[in-house]
Amino acid sequence: MELVWQNIHIGFVTALDPSHLLFCILGAVLGLIVGIIPGIGSAATIAILLPVTFHLSTTSAIIMLCGIWYGSMFGGGITAILLGIPGQATAVMTIIDGYPMARRGESKAALVALILASFIGGLFGFVGLALFAPLLADVALSFGPPEYFVLAGIGLFLVSYLVTSTITKALISAAIGLLLGFVGLDPVTAESRFTLGILSMQDGIHLIPMIMGLFGVSEILRIIEETGGIGSSQSLALKYKSHVSNKSILRNIWQSATKGSLVGFIVGLIPGAGATIASYVSYALVKRWSKKRAEFGTGIVEGVAAPESANNAATASGMIPLLILGLPADIVPAMMLGAFAIHGFTPGPQILVESPEIFWGIVTSFLIGNIVLLGLLLPLLPWFEKLARIPSPLIVSLLLAFVIGGSYTINLGPSGVYIAFFFGIIGYLMRKFDYPLPPLILAFILGPIIEFSFRQSIIISRGDFAIFTSRPITAIVLAILTMVISLWFISRFLTAIQLDRPKK
Amino acid sequence: MRKELARIVFAISILLLSLLILQESMRLPIGSFVAPGSGLFPIIVSSGFVILAIFAVIGEYRNNRAPRETLAYGKIWQMVLMSMVGVSAGASIDYFGYLITTFLTILIILLTVYHGRPAFAVGTAFGVTLLAVITFNFLGVGLPILPVWMR
């Protein structure tokens, strides 16, 4: 325990360093703003800002990106409550109880519940991250290529499985991502693969302009396609009832927020589940466990607290696989892995020994960022409603300016801009035809890890595939995967039987 | 183009792409299971990709037999224009610099796609470009801000 306190002390010293603190606050506020504005997701924002992090230190860069991530969780809920539009996908469940409260004129109570619950979720996430990550690091030190192959493979499969209802399309996205990851020189034999004879392709496709295109440019195209300004048709007269004190709201929500945080933290650890699914599961479970279960959905603070605490806790736990195993479990951590790569830093179990200031600085920044957001949001709440009504031409202009500038940097020049716009069109079409983008990016990042560890494992075992089933960790993970796939097939089979059965 | 037809065309395009990639993968050395070559993994993935693409085409075709819906696809020209503007921005940034290129790009988009009032479009384009320049400068991002004759 003493070691944990020592490490947290290191974390505070790092995170409170003025330059890190500045980027922590900057990221949190930026995330808050993009979370409030419907249409720009945290993924698109991080994609656009990735090149900017090139000029920061590794710790500052990741602290800022984390700030954007959890800041957007706070912000997404504000729009969900005030306008009934989720600022982020993670805030969809917040609408169920938050929006009816706002319609009744209890928006202040709903917003305070959101802020307090998000803070509790963030606090829970910080504690979980600080306690759980070192334990996993000890286990991860014994991981070899077979474990990395199986974990990365299962992570990719689960993202494809959970992210959409059409698994075929999700797997196609993943296959495209894997194949794009093969472009360039083979890491073992240095042979050219899929380079089309172009010399510059031997370095492979650069991640940053690709991400900026797939998320940033396709977002611009989507916004442009939608007619009218975002949120322009909404006109909700806000009434702030002041007779409910923050203390009494806290008394009402602490139980559901704690339960929501616990569920969110656990779900966030599952590769591919992410903050959105964490908020869904949390809302459902907290409702089931609550004495007020009949009132859920009518507009109660507990219904706001459960998903909001969960999505914030899930952001912290989502960092654990990335920092300790070097395997991103979701799209935002995948982008952060890109930021690590920009700085030539490889996360993994050694991070706690070799770069404790980076690890603990990031962990502590979660707490500091959440405190900053708590202190900022409570007094400034009425002002944030205006942000949700920013017209779409302004959003498109901002995105465009940052895409052009961002994709040009990292020594790519104009070709970076071309790559971004090329992948922007591809991304737009894929979204249009329901091919999800997260599996593509995750596969692109995990592809080389999967291939390299697969080949290493096969070479070690002299071609014996039993290496993937004979080791305890891989055996357990593969058993879980087999169970998930079997359950999926059984549920599909049962649904098909029910549909075929004639109605009486 | 009707939405369901466009979906089928897109799925068929993906199938063709997967076949091309499989053909390209076949050219790489597979090696053996004891010493896998650079082509082993690409062949496994691209074979899977072909199978998935076939399933996707079948899936879209089966959906096509469901009651048809009309969906306004529209505004494709806006997207084409946006993409062309973006590409020309990439081509001109080295010569005209980020400031002018971005200002003009945003201005064109606001005037054509959004049919904005000229004063609003100029003001927004100028303000946003300035904000971006300040942000990039503050973070030390190396961009050719000014045109080549002013550097």
Q: Is A51 on the interface with B (CB under 8 A)?
A: yes
State the smallest CA–CA distance between residue A473 and chain B in angstroms.
Answer: 23
- In terms of CA atoms, which chain A residue is nearest residue B123? A394
A132, pLDDT greater than 80: yes
**Residue-range domain boundaries for chain A:** 2-232+242-470, 471-504
Provide the pairing of β-strand A192-193 with A184-185. antiparallel
Is residue B70 a part of any domain in this protein? no
Same domain, B91 and B145: yes
Instruction: Note which residues in 383-402 of chain A have CB less than 8 A from chain B.
Output: 392-394, 396-398, 400-402
Binning pLDDT at 50, 70 and 90, where does residue B69 land? very low
Q: How far is CA A180 from the centre of its chain?
A: 22
Over residues A95-112, the pLDDT tens digits come to 888 888 887 878 888 888
Same domain, B113 and B59: no
B70, pLDDT greater than 50: no
Question: A182, A440, A468: which to substitute to probe chain B, counting the most B Cβ within 10 Å?
Answer: A182
Question: A52, A172, A423, A455: which to substitute to probe chain B, counting the most B Cβ within 10 Å?
Answer: A172
Q: Is B145 on the interface with A (CB under 8 A)?
A: no
What would the DSSP string read from start to end of B6-62? HHHHHHHHHHHHHHHHHHHHHTS--B-SSSB-TTHHHHHHHHHHHHHHHHHHHHHHH
- More confidently predicted of A467 and B141: A467
Structural domain count, chain B: 2
Q: Which residue has the tokens 């991002």?
A: B141
Is residue B54 a part of any domain in this protein? yes
Which three-class secondary structure state does DSSP give residue A330? Answer: coil
Nearest CA-CA partner of B79 in A428, A475, A300: A428
Whole-number pLDDT of residue A41: 66
Whole-number pLDDT of residue A232: 37
SS (H, E, C) A352-406: HHHCHHHHHHHHHHHHHHHHHHHHHHHHHHHHHHHHCCCCHHHHHHHHHHHHHHH
Same domain, B33 and B85: no
- More confidently predicted of A312 and A35: A312
Contact B45 A182 (CB under 8 A): yes
Q: Is A217 on the interface with B (CB under 8 A)?
A: yes
Using a 10 angstrom Cβ sphere, with 0-12 exposed, 13-18 middle and 19 or more buried, the burial of residue A263 is buried
Q: Is A161 on the interface with B (CB under 8 A)?
A: no
Angstrom distance (rounded) from CA B80 to CA B47 = 33
Over residues A357-386, the pLDDT tens digits come to 888 888 899 889 889 888 888 787 767 666
| Domain region containing B25 | 3-64
State the smallest CA–CA distance between residue A462 and chain B in angstroms.
Answer: 5
Binning pLDDT at 50, 70 and 90, where does residue A412 land? low
Same domain, B87 and B144: yes
Is residue B95 a part of any domain in this protein? yes
Over residues A274-299, the pLDDT tens digits come to 787 788 788 888 888 888 888 888 88
Q: What is the mean pLDDT of chain B?
A: 82
Binning pLDDT at 50, 70 and 90, where does residue B129 land? very high
Is residue B106 a part of any domain in this protein? yes
Task: Give me the mean pLDDT over the A219-248 stretch.
Answer: 57
Same domain, B111 and B142: yes
At A401, which amino acid appears?
A
Contact B86 A414 (CB under 8 A): no
Range from A306-315, A383-392, A435-444, B85-94 that averages highest in pLDDT: A306-315
Of B41, B64, B87, the residue at which a domain comes to its end is: B64
Same domain, B59 and B88: no
Q: Retrieve residue A434's tokens.
A: 């329901």
Range from A238-242, B62-66, B109-113 that averages highest in pLDDT: B109-113
Whole-number pLDDT of residue B71: 42
Range from A207-211, A451-455, B29-33 that averages highest in pLDDT: A451-455
Instruction: Note which residues in 94-133 of chain B have CB less than 8 A from chain A.
Output: 94, 98, 101-102, 105-106, 109-110, 113-114, 116, 124-125, 128-129, 131-132
Angstrom distance (rounded) from CA A461 to CA A352 = 30
Using a 10 angstrom Cβ sphere, with 0-12 exposed, 13-18 middle and 19 or more buried, the burial of residue B72 is exposed
Is residue B69 a part of any domain in this protein? no
Lowest mean pLDDT among A81-85, A182-186, A439-443, B1-5: B1-5
Q: Within 10 Å of residue A16's Cβ, how many Cβ atoms? A: 14
Q: Which helix (H) or strand (E) holds B123?
A: helix B118-138
Is residue B114 a part of any domain in this protein? yes
Which three-class secondary structure state does DSSP give residue A124? Answer: helix
Chain A CB contacts of B61 below 8 Å: none
